[in-house]
Amino acid sequence: MEFIVTAATFLLVIAACWQGGLWYMARQAALASAQEGLRAARAQHGSPGAGQSAAMSYATQVGGAHLNAPGAQVSEGADQTIVVRVTGRVPSFVPGLNINISREARGPKERWTTPGAAR
């Protein structure tokens, strides 16, 4: 009886560690996708649409095995700050466990300035 309890506990710990690894990989894939979208959107002639397209392309091609049902939103604030948010679901090793994640990257829009000009 002790062996059964010990073995079940050991398998539960292994499953929790495995699920934690899947969660970490999904977070990293979402963050990398958001950063890729930010690079495209904040370029001098970039647009929010280009950023969203780049984030989704990266999420499906590179993070495809680590991030389920990816989605990307790009917004540009009045202060020329670009925000790219990538959402998705963590692949589940534990049946019935649904974990949603969201990561974002933000940065200023690139623009030309003259030396000594007010920013």
Q: What is the pLDDT of residues 35-59, one digit of tens each?
A: 999 999 998 888 899 999 999 999 9
Question: What's the CA gap between 54 and 46, in Å, rounded?
Answer: 11
Q: Please identify which residue in the block is written with the tokens 């974990």.
A: 99
pLDDT at residue 64, rounded to an integer: 78
Check residue 65 and give its pLDDT. Answer: 83
Q: How confident is the model at residue 119 (pLDDT cuts 50, 70, 90)?
A: low
Q: Please check the confidence at residue 23 and state whether its pLDDT lies above 90.
A: yes
Which of 87, 57, 82, 62 lies closest to 72, judged by CA?
Answer: 87
113 found inside a domain: no
User: What tokens appear for 71 in the block?
Assistant: 């989605």
Q: Stretch 82-108: mean pLDDT, rounded?
A: 92
Instruction: Tell me which residue range forms the domain holding 85.
Output: 2-108
In a domain, 64, yes or no: yes
DSSP 8-state secondary structure symbol assigned to residue 52: H
| Residue of 38, 23, 99, 28 whose CA lies nearest to 72 | 38
- Count structural domains, the chain: 1
